Amino acid sequence: MAGGAEQSGTELLAFAQFLDSSPQPLAYGYGRRSLHELRAREFGRLAGTVYLDHAGATLFPQSQLTSFTKDLMENVYGNPHSQNSSSRLTHDTVEQVRYRILAHFHTSPEDYTVIFTAGSTAALKLVAEAFPWVPPGPESSGSHFCYLTDSHTSVVGMREVVAAMNITSIPVRPEDMWLAEEQDATAASDPDGQPLHLFCYPAQSNFSGTRYPLSWIEEVKSGRMCPVGGPGKWFVLLDAAAYVGTSPLDLSVHRADFVPLSFYKIFGFPTGLGALLVNSRSAPLLRKTYFGGGTATAYLAKEDFYIPRESVAERFEDGTISFLDVIALKHGFDVLERLTGGMENIRQHTFTLARYTYAALSALRYPNGAPVAQIYSDSEFSSPEVQGPVISFNVLDDNGNIIGYSQVDKMASLHNIHVRTGCFCNTGACQRHLGISDEMIKKHLQAGHVCGDDVDLIDGQPTGSVRISFGYMSTLEDAQAFLRFIIATRLRPSHGQPLPLATPGEAGALSAESLPATRARRSPSPQEDASPDSRVWDNAPTTVDAVSLRPPLLETTRTQQTPSEKAAGILDGGLGSHIVTNLFLYPIKSCAAFEVTRWPLGNQGLLYDRSWMVVNHNGVCLSQKQEPRLCLIQPFIDLQRRIMVINAQGMEPIAVSLEENSKPAQICQSKVCADRVNTYDCGEKISSWLSKFFGRPYHLIRQSSDFQRNARKKRGKDQSACTTATLSLVNEAQYLLINRSSVLELQQQLSTSKYLLTHCTASCGLLHGDGTIFQGDHGGLSNRCVSLGLALMIKACSDHRSLSDENGKEELFPVNNLISRFRANIITSGTRAFEEEKWDEISVGSLHFQVLGPCHRCQMICIDQQTGQRNRNVFQKLSERRERKVNFGLYLMHTSLDLSSPCYLSVGSQVLPVLKENIEHYDLPASEKQQEVIS
């Protein structure tokens, strides 16, 4: 069951009350067909996952692939342009699929032609190139290309094609079309006149889910409603890509001239295949210039002689079509009909889920009455005729400020909820709903924001939103899991506020009884934190610290005690001093840290830091986001023997040479943060070792020594001031620094939150220790806790034993555990929390580092580096503390580094920062000016 929670009777009753309160009948599911059985049988891969991006791409059922694969295994399909039997089989099957497509849209080959394309975008481009545009002249103003501003990028992009033909493009606002619709219908143009114009609009907005009237097709074509005034005949292109995935389209009633679509929006598979449905009355007008294989009846190579195919489809399908993918469509139609009974059932089911979620999300309020979300919609979700199963929104804080969509997306990922964020390739709708002016769009670009990135807030203003969308296999549990996520992250006790109660009987409101339960994981004891087997020592005066070739294997549930914590008390220096307390390198990207007390520097950072990475069978770099167990791989480097020893529980240690392979190695192309890197495979032996541990084929690759990866980071507001650095396989910078005092403040907040949640569990049975909310036996929050408020709630629950002793020595989130989650290279101590964010430069002995900016955190900080388990509280609490961007730690790079002699970083070294604002230096006492960092 989605979300991993059992559906309670109260949830069913609440949903039934929602259905009863609807002014029109609503349908959920597919009659006698069990939706839960469908999910288990066809979409077992969704177990534990809530997929809410069906407007981006819906999911294919297992039986579709099974049926298609069986078809391919039993038949021989050849190129349809040949005349042999296998080719004729392909040709005839493709023609049958064309008929099936037209029948799906309630039309026939007499009225429409199916032209297969690479997708809806290719279909739109085809229309732009082939439409009979008339350029302006002495006696005519020429053709117009009009498009609704609430259109996909692929529609707006058509204007570049027509501009090359000297054709005018005119954007039309939805408000103008609605206004024209309300006015008296008087003939504004001659439907039989010249020139020819094209109006393009979406049947459904991919941004908000608004469904625009299909009646506009006939109104515009007849001339009763014109996007712009002037003589001429109007044709209509109906962008149906977002609409047909969850709704029937009857082309016998709504006779658009051109209808582009992509089939993966309907079936999930195949991708890269679409079609342009062309009205038979409009097809003869299309003009074609290029001709490719299969489209010519005859042509001459040495003379400008070419006769196109008579069939419209054959004339425009250049080259060999993707015939196997076309055959897959037949199985898609079969399975969709069998599972759901048809598109009308899908429309009703998905709309019911969207309306329920919209009602529940709209009703959520903070204790001060402020809404939790701002929803962008042109309707009140009154009917599927005006609204598709899409909800676009932004989450607000209790002061009404928008929380960036990137932050919401990261939190959703921690709950295994898949959403879409940004403007969804629809800038026009994004501007209209979010109030973003043209000038702001240009300003955002100058600030570095581009479509598809995670720059979600600029000067406090949103650059996009969050979108959820439902598909035919979506369930009530999916919707409720999403709502629980919003409640758990926004309405749990924080800032001294108790949880609000849902109003009984309110349509769409969720009671606390619908919230999931999660068992709290035991924190390690102090004894577990200290491991005498974890040690790093210096066994040669002229070398660096090394570890045993076969170090004792640590229990994966233990937290290592750092060498520095065993050392002197300088590590707990006062607020006035700045000291390096820990040094970490991560030889294998996303694997466990290797802690040292002194270590050499290279031109890319700490020597061997992120020099290797694990990739899958496709050569794609893995991180703990996809494979959390990477943190259980423990590399140890021995510089004397020139090897890296890799350990993991249950595995024999394996050694990898630090020397590059003397034999010519095949260069592998891979990517790190969109940068292409040259690497080489470290061999089958380590690949087999990794594959055995993870249970799937993985490889270890290393960055080539002769490959240089440069990073360019802009500093501050001076966009012209850039710095460069040579990088290993790190994401963005050579070094990452965090401040122990900042970690301590986060730990205090987490411990306080954990204390309150645990005690509320003891009192009311409503909250579990990891912060996940659930309903106990009381049927709601106890009156006792609601009335007392947070401070009194602690007192009221004081009869329950605290999780920490009277000295507070047992930590719910040990400091070392938190430090390890942030995967920094340099840990400092002796500064106030987050004071490091004021630094512009730092010096550590004779080494100088430039601060490049803050590290914007992702959900990887929720992974316990000793166990591989996730705890959502870390990201949530940091998100609350940082308010807007979840920043923690500083990126550093060398400003000057002389490697003619060895350079080292050492624990205990003094750190000298330079502030951003007044460039003030922190002076060290003369007695403390020890050169712990030598070069």
Provide the annotated active-site residues: 425
- Find out whether 147 and 220 touch, Cβ atoms under 8 Å: no
First CA to last CA distance, the chain: 60
CA pair distance 234, 221, nearest whole angstrom? 5
Q: Tell me the three state secondary structure of residue 824.
A: coil
| Alpha helices, DSSP H, located in 847-930 | 873-882
Residue 334: in which H helix or E strand, if any? Answer: helix 323-340
**Cα–Cα distances in angstroms (integers) from residue 538 to residues 550, 562, 907, 909, in the given order:** 17, 15, 13, 17
> Phi/psi of residue 313, each to 5°?
-65, -50
Q: Tell me the three state secondary structure of residue 73.
A: helix
Q: Tell me the three state secondary structure of residue 702.
A: strand
How many C-beta neighbours within 10 Å does residue 391 have?
30
CA atoms 374, 375, 376, 380: torsion sign: negative
CA pair distance 490, 371, nearest whole angstrom? 11
- Find out whether 894 and 848 touch, Cβ atoms under 8 Å: yes
CA pair distance 389, 391, nearest whole angstrom? 7
Joined together, the tokens standing for residue 663 give 């034999």
Buried b (16+ CB within 10 A) or exposed e, 679-717: bbbbeeebbebbeebbeeebbbbbbeeeeebebebeeee
Burial of 848 (0-12, 13-18, 19+ CB in 10 A): middle
Residue 412: in which H helix or E strand, if any? Answer: helix 405-414
Residue 851: in which H helix or E strand, if any? Answer: strand 847-856
- Find out whether 238 and 220 touch, Cβ atoms under 8 Å: no
How many C-beta neighbours within 10 Å does residue 648 have?
22
The residues near 280 (Cβ < 8 Å, ≥ 6 apart) are 110, 111, 112, 113
| Nearest to 699, CA basis, from 779, 620, 778 | 620
Starting at the edge strand that comes first in sequence, how are the strands of the sheet with 598-602 ordered?
Answer: 605-606, 598-602, 904-906
What's the count of helices (H) and strands (E) in the chain, helices before strands?
Answer: 24, 39
Residue 238: in which H helix or E strand, if any? Answer: strand 233-239
Q: Is the peptide bond before 109 cis (omega within 30 degrees of 0)?
A: no
CA atoms 835, 836, 839, 843: torsion sign: positive
Q: Tell me the three state secondary structure of residue 193.
A: coil
Residue 393: in which H helix or E strand, if any? Answer: strand 390-396
The rounded radius of gyration (Å) of the Cα atoms in the chain is 32
